[in-house]
C-alpha cells in the first residue's frame, strides 16, 4: 500500500459455485445462496484467470460451495497452470475419487485442502448431514496422496466438535497430510445465523489452545499446524484476508468481486462484476475496494493505535454485524469499548445448549430464520 495506490494483489478466492453436497451450519457463505443458473461459464472464468495472471496474482484458491461439482474444474485448473498460478482446491472431498483427482493432478493442480466436519464418522455426518460422508472424505484424502499432491486437512471448530481436536491431529497424521488447519469458526453468513448453536465455551477454547501448542512442539517438522483463534474470545482481531482489499480479494459464483466473504453485508457498497469489468480496473479503482483501504477511513481510536498497520482495525463486516457501524473498532479487539459486550455475548451463546441449528441450503434461509 502507498499513497499512490494499492500494491499488487497476491491471491484470489474464486468461489466457482454455491452448490454443495453438504449442509454445514457453520458455512460463511451468504444466507441467499446463488443457484447454478447464476454461475459464470467456463469462458468467463478462463478470462478472469488470464487477467489474474496479467495482474500479477500468484495463487488462486478454488472454492465454493463445492467446486468439484463444476464439470469444467480440470479445464480451469489447466488455465491456471498454463499461466504459472498456484492452484489450491478447497473441497469437502465428497465425490473426489481417484479418477477426478488424477485428472486434476494431470491438469496441474498444486494443492488440495479437504474439510472434515468431525474426526469421528458420526460427527461428520451429523454436521454435514450426509450419510457416509466421512468414509468418502477419507477415500478422497488417500486419492490426493496417491496422486502425489500435497494435502491439508481443514478442521472447522465449534461447540459441536471442539472436543475432537486431538483426534483431528491423529487423523491428519494418519492421512499423511503436510498441514492441519484448526480453524475456529468465524461468524458470518450461515455461521452467524447459527452462532447460538455453535459458540464454544471459553474453557473449551483454552483447552484446545493447550492441545494445539503441545502438538506443534511435538510434531515440528512432521506436521504443520495452523491455528485460527475464535474472534469473540481473542485479545486482538485478525486482519481479515490480510486487510481490506490489501493483498487479496474474492469473486463469487456470479462474478461479483468483493474484498471478503461478508462484504455485501455492509450497506452502501457497490460491487463490480469481474465478468464485465477488467480485474485491473476493479483492483485499482473499485469504490468498494477503496472504502476501507489503508487507514484514512479509521475512527480516531484506531488511527491512533500502534496496531493500525497490523490488524487495520479488525474486520469491517464483524464491526457491522456487532455494532451496526462498519467504521467502528472491531469489538473482538480488547481495546474496543464494546469488547466486554462481545465476551458476554459469546458466553451467553455458549450456554444456549438447546439452540436450533439451521442447515445451509440453496435458496436461502426461511423468513423466520432471517429475523434472528
Confidence at residue 181, expressed as pLDDT on a 0 to 100 scale:
98
User: With a cut of 70, which residues of the chain have pLDDT below it?
Assistant: 1-5, 363-372
pTM over 0.85: yes
Confidence at residue 364, expressed as pLDDT on a 0 to 100 scale:
59
Please report, to the nearest 10 degrees, the dihedral formed by the alpha carbons of residues 65, 67, 69, 72 taken in order: 150
Confidence at residue 2, expressed as pLDDT on a 0 to 100 scale:
43
Confidence at residue 365, expressed as pLDDT on a 0 to 100 scale:
57
Confidence at residue 372, expressed as pLDDT on a 0 to 100 scale:
37
Confidence at residue 145, expressed as pLDDT on a 0 to 100 scale:
98
Q: 84-103 in b/e burial notation, b at 16+ Cβ within 10 A?
A: ebbbbbbbbbbebeeebbbb
- pLDDT per position as a tens digit, 146-174: 999 999 999 999 999 999 999 999 999 99
Confidence at residue 5, expressed as pLDDT on a 0 to 100 scale:
62
Amino acid at each position: 500500500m502507498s499513497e499512490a495506490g494499492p500494491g499488487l494483489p497476491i491471491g484470489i478466492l474464486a468461489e466457482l459455485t454455491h452448490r454443495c453436497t453438504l449442509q454445514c451450519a457453520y458455512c460463511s457463505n451468504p444466507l441467499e445462496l446463488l443457484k447454478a443458473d447464476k454461475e459464470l461459464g467456463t469462458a468467463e472464468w478462463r478470462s478472469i484467470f488470464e487477467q489474474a495472471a496479467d495482474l500479477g496474482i500468484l495463487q488462486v484458491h478454488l472454492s465454493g460451495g463445492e467446486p468439484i461439482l463444476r464439470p469444467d474444474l480440470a479445464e480451469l485448473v489447466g488455465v491456471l497452470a498454463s499461466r504459472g498460478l498456484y492452484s489450491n482446491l478447497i473441497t469437502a472431498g465428497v465425490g473426489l475419487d481417484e479418477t477426478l483427482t488424477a485428472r486434476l493432478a494431470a491438469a496441474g493442480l498444486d494443492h488440495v485442502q479437504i474439510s472434515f466436519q468431525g474426526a469421528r464418522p458420526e460427527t461428520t455426518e451429523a454436521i454435514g448431514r450426509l450419510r457416509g460422508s466421512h468414509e468418502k472424505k477419507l477415500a478422497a484424502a488417500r486419492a490426493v496422496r496417491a496422486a502425489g499432491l500435497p494435502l491439508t486437512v481443514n478442521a472447522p471448530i465449534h461447540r459441536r466438535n471442539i472436543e475432537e481436536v486431538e483426534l483431528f491431529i491423529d487423523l491428519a497424521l494418519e492421512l499423511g497430510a503436510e498441514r492441519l488447519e484448526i480453524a475456529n469458526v468465524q461468524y458470518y453468513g450461515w455461521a452467524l445465523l447459527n452462532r447460538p448453536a455453535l459458540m464454544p465455551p471459553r474453557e473449551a477454547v483454552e483447552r484446545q489452545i493447550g492441545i494445539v501448542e503441545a502438538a506443534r512442539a511435538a510434531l515440528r517438522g512432521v506436521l504443520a499446524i495452523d491455528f485460527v483463534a475464535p474472534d469473540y474470545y481473542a485479545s486482538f482481531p485478525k486482519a481479515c484476508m490480510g486487510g481490506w482489499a490489501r493483498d487479496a480479494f474474492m469473486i463469487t459464483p456470479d462474478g461479483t468481486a468483493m474484498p471478503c466473504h461478508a462484504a455485501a453485508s455492509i450497506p452502501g457498497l457497490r460491487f463490480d462484476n469481474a465478468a464485465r469489468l477488467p480485474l485491473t480496473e476493479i483492483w485499482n479503482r473499485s469504490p468498494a475496494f477503496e472504502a476501507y483501504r489503508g487507514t484514512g477511513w479509521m475512527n480516531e481510536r484506531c488511527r491512533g493505535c500502534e496496531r493500525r498497520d497490523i490488524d487495520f482495525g479488525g474486520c469491517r463486516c464483524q464491526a457491522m454485524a456487532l455494532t451496526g457501524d462498519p467504521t467502528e473498532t472491531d469489538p473482538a479487539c480488547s481495546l474496543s469499548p464494546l469488547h466486554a459486550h462481545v465476551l458476554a455475548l459469546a458466553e451467553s451463546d455458549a450456554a444456549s445448549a438447546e439452540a436450533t441449528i439451521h442447515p445451509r441450503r440453496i435458496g436461502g434461509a426461511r423468513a423466520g430464520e432471517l429475523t434472528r
